[in-house]
Amino acid sequence: MSHDDFYQVLGVSRTASADEIKRAYRRAAKEHHPDRNPGDKQAESRFNRIQEAYEVLSDRQKRDQYDKYGKVGVGRVVEDGGQPFYTWGDGSRVQVDDLEDFFSTFGGDRGPGGGGGNVFEQIFGQRGPRGRGRPRTRAEPAPAKGRDVEKHVSLSFEQAVHGGKVNLTLVQADGRRESVTVTVPPGVDDGQRIRLRGKGTPGPSAAPPGDLYIICDVTAHAWFRRDGRDIHLDLPITVTEATLGARIDVPTLHGSVTVTVPPGTSSGSKLKLRGRGLPESAKQPAGDQYVLVQIVPPRNLDDAQRAAVEDLARQLRYDPRVELGW
């Protein structure tokens, strides 16, 4: 992993789309997250570089400046000993009072590109820190917010459906551990993000901290499948239950219920249980549960059972394919 090029940090080309960058970031952050590599300082360093790269490349304006000027184009202003400095990348910095001369090396008197909308003007507005035909007063830059942080949280299928509280331990950059309780709302989906304001990386000086984004990793269920707010369940039944009909107890997210299988039900039929899907929320109605019928023929028949089935076949004498015109 190169530490010098943000595109190489995420493993994407310089022409990668926003979606490709996001997918690459999620893969890399998941692989190198400190929680998955306890005690590995190199993994923590790689994770921080991944965060830094995504923070720039996910922002259209910052990405444009990075493409034009490299890391120098996406720095920030910090205070040190009462003096403002512009810093970027690995800690390189220049005093703000010398910033205009510094930027002029990239493309003329007005900063990189020699025109409007350059790095210099983005930081200080239309007025520079000193001279050259501009007023000496300058707009103070807003303090840079701390970096946002993402953390993957594993949820059971039931936790995702019904919601609840999850206790997390956050490891700060200085190694300090902080316990946080996250309220998971009912109905979260796999990959969904939950935002916790102010729980990210502390900002420099008096700047506000970044935010923490919880990414929900929902485990698969042994029986249920989710489709939006609806739940699907496979129901194996016997040939006789399908032929004669039956009443069968099936599980739902809200407890067991009895479904009626009508006589003559074919394999692949769906039985609808209204309101038995995801619970109702303030914005959405409750989902439904669909029971998918699967007829399972008997196996390993003994001689008497086989003779009985053959006798039944002779008595029924029907062809379910007759209307297909084959």
Residue 92 has pLDDT above 80, yes or no: no
Cβ neighbors of 5 (< 8 A, separation 6 or more) are: none
* Helix/strand/coil for 278: coil
Query: Phi/psi of residue 321, each to 5°?
Result: -100, 5
Look at residue 56 in the predicted model and tell me its pLDDT.
85
Q: Which CATH number does 149-218 carry?
A: 2.60.260.20
Query: Phi/psi of residue 279, each to 5°?
Result: -65, 155
Q: How confident is the model at residue 202 (pLDDT cuts 50, 70, 90)?
A: confident
Cβ neighbors of 203 (< 8 A, separation 6 or more) are: 143, 144, 145, 146, 209, 210
Q: Where are the beta strands (DSSP E) in the chain?
A: 76-80, 83-88, 92-95, 149-155, 164-171, 177-184, 193-196, 212-218, 224-227, 230-237, 246-250, 257-261, 270-273, 289-295
């038995």: which residue's tokens? 276
Taking CB atoms within 8 Å and a gap of at least 24, the contacts of 115-120 are 119/65, 119/69, 119/72, 119/73
User: What is the location of CATH 2.60.260.20 in the chain?
Assistant: 149-218, 224-316
Q: What percent of the chain has pLDDT over 90?
A: 29
Class of domain 6-124: mainly alpha
Burial class (CB in 10 A: 0-12, 13-18, 19+), 107: middle
The span from the first CA to the last CA of the chain, in angstroms, equals 61
Angle at 321 between CA 319 and CA 322, to 5 degrees: 70
Burial class (CB in 10 A: 0-12, 13-18, 19+), 66: buried
Angle between helices 60-69 and 41-57 (to 10 degrees): 100
Residue 2 has pLDDT above 70, yes or no: no
Lowest-confidence segment of 104-113, 203-212, 237-246, 276-285 by average pLDDT: 104-113
What pLDDT digit, counting tens, does each position of 15-61 carry?
889 888 988 988 888 888 777 777 787 887 888 888 888 888 888 88
Residue 99 has pLDDT above 70, yes or no: no
Angle between helices 18-32 and 41-57 (to 10 degrees): 160
Q: Which CATH number does 224-316 carry?
A: 2.60.260.20
What pLDDT digit, counting tens, does each position of 208-238 carry?
888 889 999 999 999 999 998 999 999 999 9
Q: Which residues pair with 166 in a beta bridge?
A: 182
Cβ atoms of 200 and 148 closer than 8 Å: yes
State mean pLDDT over 60-73. 76
Q: How confident is the model at residue 141 (pLDDT cuts 50, 70, 90)?
A: low
State mean pLDDT over 82-108. 57
Look at residue 133 in the predicted model and tell me its pLDDT.
44
Whole-model pTM? 0.53
For residues 232 and 250, give the distance between their C-alpha atoms in angstroms, rounded to a whole number. 12
Q: What is the 3-state secondary structure (H, E, C) of 55-124?
A: HHHCCHHHHHHHHHHHHHHHCEEEEECCEEEEEECCCEEEEHHHHHHHHHCCCCCCCHHHCCCCHHHHHH
User: What is the location of CATH 1.10.287.110 in the chain?
Assistant: 6-124
Average model confidence (pLDDT) across the chain? 80
For residues 34 and 30, give the distance between their C-alpha atoms in angstroms, rounded to a whole number. 9
